[in-house]
Amino acid sequence: MSDYQTIRFHQEGAKAFLTFDRPDVLNALNNQMIAEALDAVRNLPSGTRVLVVRGTGDKAFAAGADLEEMQRRTPWNEIDFGARRELARRLETAPFPTLAAINGYALGGGLELALACHLRIASATAKVGLPETRIGILPANGGTARLTRLVGRGRALRMILLAEHVDAMQAEQLGIVDWVVAPEIFDEEVSSIAHRLAKLAPVSARAIIDTVSRSADMTIDHAIDYEHRWFQICLGSADKQEGVDAFLQKRTPDFGRADNRDRF
């Protein structure tokens, strides 16, 4: 798939940008948008070091599922959520940082995709929530699972059962988002963070994402053993050699100079 109609995608060197682009319906997620977003994520260039996911305009990241399409969805035509689940898992398990840039509403399925990203930055005007109980369903693309891991059982139950919308400052206090910035500098801050993430050593970035993500499901001893195995991999990488050389030579490391084939 190359000519997208519901998303925009562009690459700036090591930085990839995926933008939900249905502003007339607050970037509501329909099957076509999910399919196009999944196609873009499946086919990211090999040199990608950060993926930024955002919505067109300043009103919404993605305001949930397309409800007109929801009327036609049944237990049988989407029994396992298929592409929706794969898209979220690819954002969550990417070997490089994924950053959700939340400007406006991130509700329902939109928030679920943001929660699947490794990091989240929000405009001070943003609002997030999982309002599925209002239409008699539940957030089922990782919403209950990922939100509970971030905010705890009680707060997750309150937000989901009562379909609460949380403003950006509350979301930061609860740990749902990692940064809150003023609307007038939102784009600048997104670009700055993406630039910093793209400059990380790819092997250590992948190691950190993997160890942090897996540690919650391990005993402390198993988690420490697992991170040590990644440490050994890092010790043998070209990135580590470049980082140490740059430190001793009092210069900024250029991890892009190391050949990709020699990273592991």
As annotated, the active-site residues are 112, 132
Strands 127-129 and 165-167: antiparallel
Contact call for residues 61 and 126 (beta carbons, < 8 A): yes
Give dist(CA 140, CA 78) in Å, integer: 12
Query: CB 81: neighbour CB atoms within 10 A?
Result: 16
The structure tokens listed for 132 are 């599925």
Give dist(CA 39, CA 122) in Å, integer: 25
Which helix (H) or strand (E) segment is 173 a member of?
helix 168-174
Please give the distance of CA 114 from its chain centroid, rounded to a whole number: 5
CA distances for 97 relative to 27, 93, 94, 201, angstroms: 23, 9, 7, 11
